[in-house]
Amino acid sequence: MRRTARLEFERPPNMDRTTRAVFFDAGYTLLCMEPDQKTNFLRSCADLGVEIDHSRLREAIKLASEMLAPRTPAAQKQPYSLEAVDRFWTEYHRVLLSHCAVNPRDVEQAQAVYRRFVELLRWRVYDEVRDVLASLRARGIALGIISNWTGDLEDVLRSVELHHHFDFVLDSAHLSWEKPHPEIFLEAVRRAGVTPAQALHVGDSPDHDVDGALAAGLRAALIDRDDNHPMFERAPRVASLHELLELV
């Protein structure tokens, strides 16, 4: 059975319970790919004549997505550039194709598949997002985004008419840190003008979002729309952002 949000955070005695800021991850928290990644990848491959072994696709996506795992705080962050983004996602698709392309030579199509993927990609805002943001704003709560994006996040937010809801947007591509590094959460706290204990961060990644926020002294909630983390207990787990309104 789907577990609903736990309404009480575990806080030390005398900690200020007032929520004065709520921060959000972007991808799969506020908005998602449309079509979804798997569908878009298969369409891109079909358009380029790249045959895919569907029985190996799920495992291939899992292996390629290891490239998205959190890096240690000591890891050297590469300066942002469009070229760096292009190299990263080309390599991601190279790994993906190496595990599921029927013809091994199609690995060399990685960049073409990636570029076609981007051409087909659209973004969809989850249905409840705008109502929830409006409700939080009506309570006088500061709103921000903390995301490990690839540099064009603000453009994407404007294209889906979400940008104006937020006081600031932190895209790790333009900063010295990325989630789950505590510094990016503390920068959000600084911009919101609150203490860490007065801020709640919500995202879809237990590692990037929840662990990062908790390590920085913020509260956290995991958005788990598809019930992928049924045993998760380190913070409240919600199926919809509507449930956040009970946590602030």
Digit-coded pLDDT (tens) for 99-113: 999 999 999 999 999
Q: Are residues 215 and 171 in the same domain?
A: yes
Least confident stretch, 49-53, 175-179, 183-187: 175-179
- Pairing relationship of beta strands 31-34 and 122-125 according to DSSP bridges: antiparallel
Examine the pLDDT at 77 and tell me if it is beyond 80.
Answer: no
Claim to verify: residue 216 and residue 99 sit in the same structural domain: no
Q: Are residues 128 and 242 in the same domain?
A: yes
Last residue of a domain, one of 66, 88, 122: 122
* pLDDT at residue 146 greater than cutoff 70: yes
Higher pLDDT, 91 or 74: 91
- Per the CB < 8 A criterion, the answer to whether 193 and 142 are in contact is yes
Q: What percent of the chain has pLDDT over 90?
A: 79
Burial-class residue 155 by CB neighbours within 10 Å (0-12, 13-18, 19+): exposed
Q: What average pLDDT score do residues 207-219 get?
A: 96
Instruction: Report if residue 222 sits inside a domain.
Output: yes
113 and 177, same domain (yes or no): no
Which residues form the domain of 91? 34-122
DSSP class of residue 73 equals T
Instruction: Kindly state whether residues 115 and 162 are assigned to the same domain.
Output: no
Listing DSSP states for 182-220 in one string gives HHHHHHHHHHHTS-GGGEEEEES-IIIIIIHHHHTT-EE
| Tokens encoding 242 | 């509507």
d(CA 89, CA 149): 12
- CATH number, domain at 136? 3.40.50.1000
Whether residue 128 is contained in a domain is answered as: yes
185 occurs within a structural domain: yes
Q: Which two tokens mark 230?
A: 């049924």
Overall domain count for the chain: 2
Confidence of residue 74 (pLDDT cuts 50, 70, 90): low
pTM: 0.85
Tokens of 176: 């010295």
